[in-house]
């Protein structure tokens, strides 16, 4: 039995003009009410019908565009978009979480939403697909090369088909537990979490928790926790005027010196330099 994603995406991938236009949202501006804001990058794709969507571009300009079949919107982590559900439309949303790829297929008949499919699957290591997502982010920041953008989006769609097509129909108990623990880390990263305290919360041994992260997440528990905390730290450094030591504390790091060393190791620059680079980007209206 074909996976639903293969059925809806195969025509787009087989057609040289299947992806018509790729738009880019920005992630440095506050999200308005009723918009969709998440902590991971995603692709919004119109499959049939048409939909009016609002977002903010890289130069800070508010955009509203009528997306047609084959149009895609790339939304980076911490970015937002605001769809308007008025006319009949079928949309696909692909969500690229650190350890998981999820999709949601939705049909709007003009009055009510009709879910067509929703699922998630573990990614094959945290770096699979990451370079393609990074390339899309760089493309949005520096130049809008549509031929390259369409190629990258098609690559991610093909990657999604591959993952969902080869995944087991039902998630294993260990995979379900891993996803629950990962969601717990993303919700409680500010707290003084340890491998032992999280294992106790879920009623498992610390050693099994470590095994779970290595097997299902492709990285250890502490590395995964630090990854979540550093992602939040980057967001605060971009959008707030907190001191670096206060950012460290707000993200769950007890030792600000350790935070600074870890940040430099993962970002190849200090937290202060990262902030200055982000602040040097054009502001809204410039």
140-149 pLDDT tens trace: 766 568 888 8
Q: Is the pLDDT of residue 261 over 70?
A: yes
The per-residue pLDDT for 44 is 95
- Give the burial class of 182: count Cβ atoms within 10 A of its Cβ; 0-12 exposed, 13-18 middle, 19 or more buried: buried
List residues bridging with 53 in a β-sheet.
65, 83
For domain 173-279, give the CATH superfamily. Homeodomain-like (1.10.10.60)
The per-residue pLDDT for 46 is 96
The per-residue pLDDT for 34 is 57
Q: Residues 126, 21, 139, 119: what is their CA dihedral angle, to the nearest 10 degrees?
A: -10
DSSP state of 73: E
Q: Is the pLDDT of residue 244 over 90?
A: yes
The per-residue pLDDT for 280 is 72
Strand order in the sheet with 21-24: 21-24, 71-75, 42-49, 89-96, 100-108, 113-122
State the maximum Cα–Cα separation within the chain, in Å, rounded to a whole number. 55
Averaged over 31-44, what is the pLDDT? 74
Averaged over 90-103, what is the pLDDT? 85
Averaged over 157-165, what is the pLDDT? 84
CA dist 81 and 73 (Å) reads 9
CA dist 47 and 52 (Å) reads 14
List residues bridging with 189 in a β-sheet.
none
- Are 98 and 73 contacting, i.e. CB atoms less than 8 angstroms apart? no
Q: Please, what is the Cα angle at 94 between 90 and 96, to 5 degrees?
A: 170
DSSP state of 60: S
CA dist 49 and 65 (Å) reads 14
Q: Is the pLDDT of residue 1 over 60?
A: no
CA dist 220 and 162 (Å) reads 25
Q: Is the pLDDT of residue 211 over 80?
A: yes
- Indicate the helix (H) or strand (E) that contains 145: none
Q: What is the mean pLDDT of the chain?
A: 83
Chain centre distance of CA 193: 23
What percent helix, strand, coil does the chain show, rounded to 5? 45, 20, 35
Residue ranges covered by each domain of the chain: 4-166, 173-279
98-155 pLDDT tens trace: 767 888 999 998 888 888 888 888 766 545 567 777 777 777 766 568 888 888 899 8
- Are 272 and 244 contacting, i.e. CB atoms less than 8 angstroms apart? yes
Number of H helices, E strands in the chain: 10, 10
Q: Is the pLDDT of residue 180 over 80?
A: yes
List residues bridging with 119 in a β-sheet.
103
């Amino acid at each position: 039995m074909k996976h639903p994603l293969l059925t809806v995406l195969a025509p787009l991938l087989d057609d040289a003009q299947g992806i018509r236009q790729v738009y880019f949202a920005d992630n440095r501006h506050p999200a308005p009410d009723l918009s969709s804001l998440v902590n991971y990058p995603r692709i919004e794709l119109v499959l049939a019908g048409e939909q009016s969507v609002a977002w903010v571009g890289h130069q800070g300009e508010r955009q509203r565009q009528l997306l047609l079949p084959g149009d895609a919107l790339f939304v980076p982590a911490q970015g937002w978009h605001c769809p308007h559900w008025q006319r009949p439309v079928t949309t696909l949303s692909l969500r690229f979480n650190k350890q998981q790829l999820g999709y949601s297929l939705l049909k709007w008949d003009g009055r009510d939403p009709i879910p067509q499919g929703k699922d998630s699957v573990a990614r094959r290591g945290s770096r699979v697909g990451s370079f393609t997502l990074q390339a899309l982010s760089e493309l949005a920041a520096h130049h809008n090369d549509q031929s390259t953008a369409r190629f990258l989006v098609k690559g991610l769609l093909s990657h999604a088909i591959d993952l969902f097509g080869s995944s087991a129909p039902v998630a294993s108990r260990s995979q379900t537990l891993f996803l629950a623990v990962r969601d717990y880390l993303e919700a409680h990263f500010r707290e003084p979490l340890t491998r032992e305290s999280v294992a106790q919360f879920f009623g498992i041994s610390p050693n099994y928790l470590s095994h779970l992260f290595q097997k299902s997440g492709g990285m250890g528990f502490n590395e995964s926790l630090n990854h979540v905390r550093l992602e939040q730290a980057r967001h605060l450094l971009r959008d707030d005027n907190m001191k670096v030591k206060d950012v460290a504390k707000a993200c769950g790091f007890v030792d600000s010196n350790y935070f600074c060393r870890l940040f430099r190791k993962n970002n190849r620059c200090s937290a202060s330099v990262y902030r200055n680079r982000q602040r040097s980007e054009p502001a809204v209206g410039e």
